[in-house]
């Protein structure tokens, strides 16, 4: 009888550990998918930087942040506007004008306005974890809408689920959630955010960046950055999930895997020596194509990926 009791106790303990890892993360999964579907719909015209669909996306994200009870960043509203100037050559290459002069030296520079959408959940310390996903995509090209469901409506919509979870599970650190603009043209939104964050290196303990987390047929998600910040591995190794979490794509000496160290907005934090973890999938057949639509993501994989990322953020919040 004692053996049976001990065995039952051990099984109960194991189930509590493994099951609690997968079941303790709770948020409205239907809402997550609806948010992704909305942001990647034709109504936003591919969210091209400085285009009407992009501005519409900013307003939608700000509305969702308000509904979720996030505090505006520094009391100045949710949308952090910034200016960006395109050179004439760059503008003509990115947004071709028919019958333009072959000599692009006469094409005037153009200044446009972008906007990060930033919300905050206050913690118990002055230190912050910044969580990013970029809201912009490629817009309309040759008459086709590039919806960017995976790239990166998936990371942006995940911000809402993360916000929902941590509004119900108060964090130790301040959580700064940033839907970043202008990633596709050089991470100018992330640069503006970091450059204007007071004492960023001292006050930001970690950047968690999500860029393409909804589309992988092999059910594999990468956490990149451990080559540079090996101290961040412990918080990831014991996460239980139906999907496979892999490490890599961050070692410049590994010729078998692309190095993602500078592939997305996390590079802006890395260059300031702020540790980062970048969650993403490897490129797929719909990457940067008009077929990157809601219908082509892996819905169950996406929900599980967001749960995994929330577990990781919670582990970092409790241990850093």
Between CA 45 and CA 51 the distance in angstroms is 8
Taking 60 as the threshold, does the pLDDT of residue 98 lie above it? no
DSSP 232-243: GSHHHHT---SS
What band does 61 get if pLDDT is binned at 50, 70 and 90?
A: very high
Which of 14-23, 83-92, 97-106, 301-310 ranks highest by mean pLDDT? 301-310
Both structure tokens of 155: 């990371």
- Taking 80 as the threshold, does the pLDDT of residue 17 lie above it? no
Tens digits of residue pLDDT in 201-237: 999 999 999 999 999 999 999 999 999 999 999 999 9
| Domains defined for the chain, CATH in brackets | 31-82+112-319 (3.40.630.10)
- Nearest partner of 315 among 201, 231, 234, 210, judged by Cα: 234
Structure confidence at residue 95 (pLDDT):
54
- Residue 157's alpha-carbon distances to 29, 63, 104, 229, in angstroms, are 11, 13, 39, 27
Q: Residue 279 pLDDT more than 80? A: yes
- The least confident of 7-16, 76-85, 86-95, 179-188 is 7-16
Cα–Cα distance list, 32 to 238, 250, 300 (Å)? 25, 29, 11
Q: Over range 27-51, report the average pLDDT.
A: 98
Q: How many helices (H) and strands (E) does the chain have?
A: 10, 11
pLDDT given for residue 4 in this prediction: 38
Residue 103 has pLDDT above 60, yes or no: no
This prediction has a pTM of 0.90
Mean residue pLDDT across the chain: 90
Q: Give me the pLDDT at residue 108, please.
A: 80
Q: pLDDT of 162-171, one tens digit each?
A: 999 999 999 9
**Taking 60 as the threshold, does the pLDDT of residue 93 lie above it?**
no
What pLDDT is attached to residue 20? 41
């Amino acid at each position: 009888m004692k053996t049976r009791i001990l065995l039952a106790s051990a099984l109960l303990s194991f189930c509590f550990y493994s099951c609690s890892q997968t079941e303790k993360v709770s948020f409205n999964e239907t809402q997550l998918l609806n948010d992704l579907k909305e942001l990647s719909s034709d109504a936003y015209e591919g969210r091209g930087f400085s285009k009407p669909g992009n501005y519409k996306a900013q307003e939608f994200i700000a509305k969702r942040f308000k509904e979720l009870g996030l505090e505006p960043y520094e009391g100045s509203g949710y949308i952090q506007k910034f200016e960006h100037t395109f050179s004439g050559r760059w503008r003509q290459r990115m947004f071709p004008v028919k019958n333009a002069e072959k000599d692009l030296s006469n094409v005037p520079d153009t200044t446009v306005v972008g906007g990060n959408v930033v919300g905050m959940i206050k913690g118990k310390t002055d230190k912050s974890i910044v969580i990013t996903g970029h809201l912009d995509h490629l817009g309309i090209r040759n008459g086709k809408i590039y919806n960017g469901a995976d790239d990166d409506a998936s990371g942006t919509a995940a911000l809402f689920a993360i916000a929902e979870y941590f509004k119900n599970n108060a964090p130790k650190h301040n959580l700064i959630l940033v839907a970043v603009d202008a990633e596709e043209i050089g991470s100018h939104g992330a640069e503006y955010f970091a450059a204007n964050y007071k004492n960023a290196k001292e006050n930001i303990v970690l950047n968690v960046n999500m860029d393409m987390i909804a589309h992988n047929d092999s059910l594999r998600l990468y956490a990149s950055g451990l080559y540079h910040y090996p101290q961040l591995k412990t918080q990831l190794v014991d996460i239980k999930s139906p999907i496979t979490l892999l490490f890599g794509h961050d070692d410049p000496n590994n010729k078998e895997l692309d190095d993602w160290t500078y592939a997305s907005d996390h590079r802006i934090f890395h260059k300031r020596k702020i540790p980062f973890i970048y969650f993403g999938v490897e490129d797929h057949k719909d990457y940067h194509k008009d077929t990157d639509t809601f219908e082509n993501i892996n819905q169950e994989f996406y929900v599980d990926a967001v749960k995994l990322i929330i577990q990781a953020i919670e582990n970092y919040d409790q241990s850093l």
